[in-house]
Amino acid sequence: MRVRIWNAYASNNSGSYTIVGSLPSQEIAREVAAELAAMIEAHTAWLEAEGADDVSGSPLAAFCNAHGLTWSDSDAMGDGWPEYSDDDRPRVAAVGSQVVVHHEYTLSLPSVFGEYFYKRGGRVQNEEEHAHHPIVTIATLWWWTKEQHAQGEIELPRLVEAFAAPDEVLVQFQATTWPTAWRVGDHGPMLTAGIVFANLIDGVAALNEIARKHGAQIQVRLYEAPSDEHDPFSHLRPSSPPPGVPRFDLVVVGAGDNRPRFIAMVSEALGLQEWDLRQQLLKLPCTLARSLSAPRAEGAAALLRRTGAVIELVRNDG
Amino acid sequence: MAFRSLPLDSALLLFDRETGTNMLFDGPELAHLRMRVPRSVMFGITNKCNLACAFCSRDLDAESAWTADEAFAMLAGLADAGVLEVAFGGGEPLAFRGFESLVSRLHDETPLAVHVTTNGLLLTPERLQTLRGKLGELRLSLYDNNAWRRTIALLVDEQMRFGINLLVLPERLAALETLVLELFALGCRDVLLLSYNGPDPALHLSPAQSADLANRVATLHRALRGRGRVSLSVCWGDRMAPVPQYLDRQGCGAGRDFIVLTSDKRLMPCSFHHLSFPVRTAADVLAVWNGHAGELAAPSTVPGCARLADYGLERLA
């Protein structure tokens, strides 16, 4: 008899969603955003409590009934609603006369959102279904009437300063991948800016607040970047006018001998995920963060150098 | 170790689910033995997936007809009949509601070895901690868009037993060794190279590329000896003749050694086959396996099948 021994098991083989609606007015956009947010909150809580076996009595079904929208069971659960993230609620923001609905981790969201935009006299401007690369925001801020133009001439430099300021509100929401870039218009007071937000809805809401503060109109265009590796704002660089204070990229040349401590320090200094860091550090030198303000870049570099790492700061004004 | 036995045709297989150890006895003393059940079940429990890969053979819109309880009943019945292993795939099995509970029940209440093939994007430390000790093996599919380095780091950190499923497309061939060596550097010890099965001629390797792959695999086999394993899926057939093979097996075993259960409750000889039979219970499965053996042994019409002349690639050319 022959005996053979081996070790094996049998085995087999085997995004984010964003929709932008353009509504007839800012007032209607705010109203639609509030209605959608309330429905989302109620529907997510209902799913959590009741499960997804029978969704005909769900808040989403009631919303469709109330507004004459197309109802489908599969919209309210499964592929049509987030299930596996820390927060399964899609988020909503009004930006000028637009409404943005987004969830960072879902197969899709119901078509009801787009249908409701049309129902309220608007249209779907863009839909990014099942995106894996970052969602890029291109924001245009401008002053509309002749009277507003005069205000714009005064406000535009302040707006640019707000975008470029090291500790401005936008920095809080900006992802560490590609730094914000901007350009002022040639015809009248206008600013076009490109931003990758770490949190899209908080980011566009902050943009909307900046526009309101400076009396500007705002419109955003959102789309999925074609890749993680290429700068989606090359057409806007170098930023014009340049920021008033210099900015720096944080480049790791050597990670030192204590890799776990270095990774923990980077997480603390820059808020980066350890998983992403491990991947980035496979190939040195690597740029951990781009276009940081001088104080932030120097602070992070000093902290990381304490672990024995070799860190360089490279000027990058965005 | 706790071995379960599975009679084969003129042979006997002993298998331990905790370690994956297989002992195969054959010889004239065992000529009377006959195989009565398939060794393993590939279970496509859902077609739902959080990715949409161009090469995928699944209909992503098809809903799963299984509940967790129905899946458990089916598999417990097959385990009672003698089946040794179940490997969940899909779709993305981790997108099936109640998946961890199902795995846990299967491990605790049946003798089955339970495995899963996943794209890894839904894995978290918490989910892995729930699955640890219950899964025989986790296989991570490597794609361009599933952050596999991050998932491997997680699997290493959580001390999971895992392997990588790597689909070898023409574009991957030139840097195959680099990629496999990187996988080993990251902590992987088991890489399974899969061939593409489907209608897109651009995704199949040409005969020259297949020969090139065989040489590269043989080189990797020598380079990695003692450090881990690089293996080939059964669909490569004799295209990989220069690669050393441990078992002198005949054919791919689809429909005989293993069967596939689909998300719409059908039995297929393999994931890429055109034939399927409706099944509701373990008894249905065994009736199809016994009663339709000839059909289950037929080649698939999908290009890439090792049972087809020229692997069905000539008509694609």
Q: What is the pLDDT of residues B87-132, one digit of tens each?
A: 998 788 998 888 999 999 999 999 999 999 999 988 999 899 999 9
| Gap from A97 CA to chain B (nearest CA, Å) | 32
**What residues in chain A have per-residue pLDDT under 50?**
12-14
Within 8 A of B43 by CB-CB distance, chain A residues are 12
Same domain, A209 and A262: no
Pick the last residue of a domain from A236, A265, A286: A236
In SS3 terms, chain B reads as CCEEEEEECCEEEEEECCCCEEEEEECHHHCCCCCCCCCEEEEECCCCCCCCCCCCCCCCCCCCCCCHHHHHHHHHHHHHHCCCEEEEECCCHHHCCCHHHHHHHHHHHCCCEEEEEECCCCCCHHHHHHHCCCCCEEEEEECCCCCHHHHHHHHHHCCCCEEEEEECCHHHHCCHHHHHHHHHHHCCCEEEEECCCCCCHHHCCCHHHHHHHHHHHHHHHHHCCCCCEEEECHHHHHHHCCCCCCCCCCCCCECCCEEEECCCCEEECCCCCCCCEECCCHHHHHHHHHHCHHHHCCCCCCCCCCCCHHHHCCCCC
| Gap from A303 CA to chain B (nearest CA, Å) | 25
Per the CB < 8 Å rule, is B137 touching A83? Answer: no
Measured CA to CA, the distance from residue B138 to residue B159 in angstroms comes to 11
Same domain, A105 and A38: yes
DSSP lists the bridge partners of residue A142 as A190, A217
- Sorted by sequence, the CB contacts under 8 Å of residue B267 that are 6+ apart come out as B259, B260, B261, B276, B277, B278, B279, B284, B285, B288, B289
* Residues of A engaging B, defined by a Cβ cutoff of 8 Å: 1-15, 52, 74, 78-79, 83-84, 105, 107, 130, 132, 275-276, 278-279, 282
Same domain, A156 and A81: no
Pick the last residue of a domain from A105, A131, A157: A131
| Gap from A84 CA to chain B (nearest CA, Å) | 7
Per the CB < 8 Å rule, is A132 touching B89? Answer: no
- Asked whether residue A201 is assigned to any structural domain, the reply reads yes
- Sorted by sequence, the CB contacts under 8 Å of residue A53 that are 6+ apart come out as none
ipTM: 0.74
Q: Where are the domains of chain B?
A: 1-35, 36-312
Same domain, A38 and A108: yes
Domain B36-312 grouped into CATH 3.30.470.10 = no
- Which amino acid, one-letter code, is at B300? S
| Gap from B74 CA to chain A (nearest CA, Å) | 18
Same domain, A214 and A252: no
Choose among A17, A277, A219, A22: nearest CA to A135: A17
Residue B61 CB burial class (10 angstroms; 0-12, 13-18, ≥19): exposed
What is the side-by-side strand order in the sheet with B11-16?
A2-7, B21-26, B11-16, B3-8
- Asked whether residue A265 is assigned to any structural domain, the reply reads yes
Choose among A270, A229, A226, A230: nearest CA to A248: A270
- Asked whether residue A9 is assigned to any structural domain, the reply reads no
Same domain, A103 and A118: yes
Within 8 A of A52 by CB-CB distance, chain B residues are 97
Is cis: bond before B28, omega within 30 of 0? Answer: no
User: In chain B, whose CA is at the least distance from the CA of A281?
Assistant: B149
Q: In the Cβ-directed half-sphere of A279, how many Cα atoms lie within 13 Å?
A: 14
Within 8 A of A81 by CB-CB distance, chain B residues are none
Do B121 and B51 meet the contact criterion of CB atoms below 8 Å apart? Answer: yes
Measured CA to CA, the distance from residue A50 to residue A216 in angstroms comes to 45
| Gap from B48 CA to chain A (nearest CA, Å) | 7
Measured CA to CA, the distance from residue A242 to residue A237 in angstroms comes to 10
Specify the pLDDT at position A14.
37
Domain residue limits at A305: 247-315
Measured CA to CA, the distance from residue A137 to residue B239 in angstroms comes to 49
Specify the pLDDT at position B231.
87
- Sorted by sequence, the CB contacts under 8 Å of residue A168 that are 6+ apart come out as A162
User: In chain B, whose CA is at the least distance from the CA of A9?
Assistant: B20
Same domain, A202 and A274: no
Cα A142 from chain centre:
22
Cα B159 from chain centre:
21
Q: Which of B43, B93, B115 sits opposite A9 (nearest CB)?
A: B115
Interface A:B, Cβ pairs < 8 A: 117
Q: What tokens does B202 get? A: 């651009």
Per the CB < 8 Å rule, is A1 touching B29? Answer: yes
Write b or e for each residue in A43-58: b if 16 or more Cβ atoms lie within 10 A of its Cβ, otherwise e: bbebbeeeeeeebeeb
Number of domains in chain A: 3
Specify the pLDDT at position A13.
47
Measured CA to CA, the distance from residue A92 to residue A112 in angstroms comes to 14
Q: Which of A2, A10, A105 sits opposite B85 (nearest CB)?
A: A10
Per the CB < 8 Å rule, is B21 touching A5? Answer: yes
Same domain, A301 and A226: no
Measured CA to CA, the distance from residue A289 to residue A198 in angstroms comes to 13
Q: In the Cβ-directed half-sphere of A166, how many Cα atoms lie within 13 Å?
A: 12
- Asked whether residue A190 is assigned to any structural domain, the reply reads yes
**What residues in chain B have per-residue pLDDT under 70?**
49-64, 242, 244-249, 317
Q: Which of A2, A11, A14 sits opposite B137 (nearest CB)?
A: A11
Pick the last residue of a domain from A131, A154, A183: A131
Same domain, A156 and A105: no
Q: Which of B43, B52, B163 sits opposite A130 (nearest CB)?
A: B52
Same domain, A22 and A121: yes
Per the CB < 8 Å rule, is A2 touching B26? Answer: yes
Same domain, A146 and A220: yes
DSSP lists the bridge partners of residue A91 as A102
Per the CB < 8 Å rule, is A12 touching B95? Answer: no
Specify the pLDDT at position B136.
93
Measured CA to CA, the distance from residue A129 to residue B116 in angstroms comes to 27
Within 8 A of A282 by CB-CB distance, chain B residues are 149, 182
Three-class SS state of A308? coil
Same domain, A299 and A211: no
Q: What is the CATH number of the domain that holds A174?
A: 3.30.70
